[in-house]
Amino acid sequence: MSSTSREFEKRRTFAIISHPDAGKTTLTEKLLLYGGAIHQAGSVKSRKAKRSATSDWMALEKQRGISVTSSVLQFEYDSIRWNLLDTPGHNDFSEDTYRTLTAADCAIMILDAAKGVEPQTRKLFRVCRMRGIPIVTFINKLDRPARDSFDLLSQVEDVLGIQSFPYTWPIGSGDLFQGVYERSSKRVLRFEKGEAGNSSKAEAVEVDLDSDALNELLGEDAADTLRGEVELLDGAGEEWDEERFLKGELSPVFFGSALNSFGIEPFLDRFKNLCPIPLPRKTADGTELEPGSDRFSAFIFKIQANMDPSHRDRIAFARICSGSFEGGMRVHHFRMGKSIRLNRAEQFFAQDRETVMEAYAGDILGLYDPGIFRIGDTLSSGGPLLFDAVPRFSPEHFGRIQLLDPLKRKQLQKGIQQLAEEGTVQLFTEPGREKDPICGVVGKLQFEVLTYRVQHEYGAKISFDILPFKYARWLEGPETPEEALAQRIPIAVHDRDKKIVGLFRDDWEVERAVRDVPDWTFHETSPIRAGEG
């Protein structure tokens, strides 16, 4: 294998998942700070200061102080090229996170030290488990009063069903939080804020756990408590097993405070070796394609329109799975069944872009999209190739679009189609009412985002007539929506791929339909097939 084909070994591609307000954006900024990508971290989510985090670029995100889209952030640290997929923390935008996880080789799960495992954490953890993604846990906000660390580990194991292995251990919490103990090196790291306070790297003083200087450094009570907790850990803790970690059965745990940078550097130093290099990717026919293969392959996992409002552009985000990318190369577009040229490719630091002429397995490319890409598309050199489909998840809220100005129908159709291609919304059409599509979203706040974007990006004012449905099920069995309606499905519609979908108000309606029509299959997800649509 040539040195060029081994470039993938220098790549690490990971996502960050968390419940809202667990500190995900703060940790993202500190990883960028320690990686040298930024020189000073911003005041995260400070609405009074009207500053937005590095990864939040959309105007509405800045207004609301939340991430509603997944950003791609790339930086170098310790000779490694890092591709960070920063996902929305708010559960109303979790479908974007689900799709983004298909492009990640590893996930950092952030927990609030006072709250532990929260509902959105459980939801995202299940998606990681479904995809077999290894998970590294970072327990954050130790600068505030926190739950007992042993209790937190027990909760991770009991609620999520994954064993834990503490790589670091906190020294106190709240006002008494001094630093962390690193178990592998037996180093005690006592931190002090840097010259620029929370916006800079923390300064660390190191001593060995067995050093006579420990009492003086931490104080006698804190030193005695740490020694006792380490003895408990070493005596009763889980043994480290890399194979179990890569299978998603064991999670290494780190403690710290992203806000004041305590514990970030030892975390990042260890994460480099924990986060796996790009791994072989399974194709739709069951074979595996090695990342070091000479054959270029990639799949589209996200489409974002209007990242630059002045240019009305569309960017398709592609995860390279094998081979190398060269600017201007020709590839086979599986769904379209033809060869295309990849003329414009960029890599991103939030909204800042840089033209790229070469990239390797593990890297994320932003491809200029003239309207030919959809989520799930596979691109490859050397002829047709198809990767496993990117799943489309069941929406949880539904609304019929109401156009407030009939003269803007053309703008509405363009806008809603483009937003559907992004994956911002799922569109369903009811026979006989094709001009009034039904929008399906994971969270109600997405209706607000849709209303805002359709008006500000496409010039059409809309509202939503909220419908009483809670579940969508893709139906395998009926040939037409009318056939589904005849079996007492409350409402039967077509999705964008002309698949038949039943909408249901509650669990009872779903269960009744499954019981009444045993010959049909009711799917909770629908693959976004690269060969369809």
CA dist 352 and 414 (Å) reads: 26
CA dist 294 and 391 (Å) reads: 28
Helix ranges (DSSP H) in 313-444: 409-422
CA dist 374 and 72 (Å) reads: 18
Cβ atoms 296, 331 nearer than 8 A:
yes
Rounded mean pLDDT for each run of 10 residues along the chain, 533 residues in total:
74 89 85 75 40 47 46 82 74 64 92 90 81 93 95 94 94 94 94 77 90 92 95 83 93 95 92 93 89 94 70 81 94 95 80 82 91 90 86 87 92 87 86 90 84 89 95 94 92 92 96 95 74 42
Q: What angle do CA 423, 429, 435 make, to 5 degrees?
A: 105
User: Would you give the DSSP letter of residue 114?
Assistant: T
Task: Identify which of 87, 72, 70 has the alpha carbon closest to the alpha carbon of residue 19.
Answer: 87
Confidence (pLDDT) at 39: 64
Confidence (pLDDT) at 28: 86
User: Would you give the DSSP letter of residue 449?
Assistant: H
Give the pairing type, strands 364-368 and 390-393. Answer: unpaired
- Structural domains in the chain? 5-274 (3.40.50.300), 281-388 (2.40.30.10), 391-528 (3.30.70.3280)
Q: Name the phi and psi angles at 244, rounded to 5.
A: -70, -35
User: Would you give the DSSP letter of residue 13?
Assistant: E
Q: What share of the chain is helix, strand, coil (3-state, %, to 5)?
A: 30, 30, 40
For tokens 């968390």, the residue is 18
**Contacts of 364 by beta carbon, 8 Å cutoff, 6+ apart:** 13, 72, 74, 83, 85, 103, 317, 318, 319, 320, 347, 348
pTM of the shown model = 0.80
Residue 389 CA neighbour count, 13 Å, CB half: 13
Q: Beta partners for 191?
A: 204
Give the pairing type, strands 471-476 and 521-523. Answer: antiparallel
Count how many residues are written for the chain. 533
Cβ atoms 382, 375 nearer than 8 A:
no
CA dist 108 and 244 (Å) reads: 16
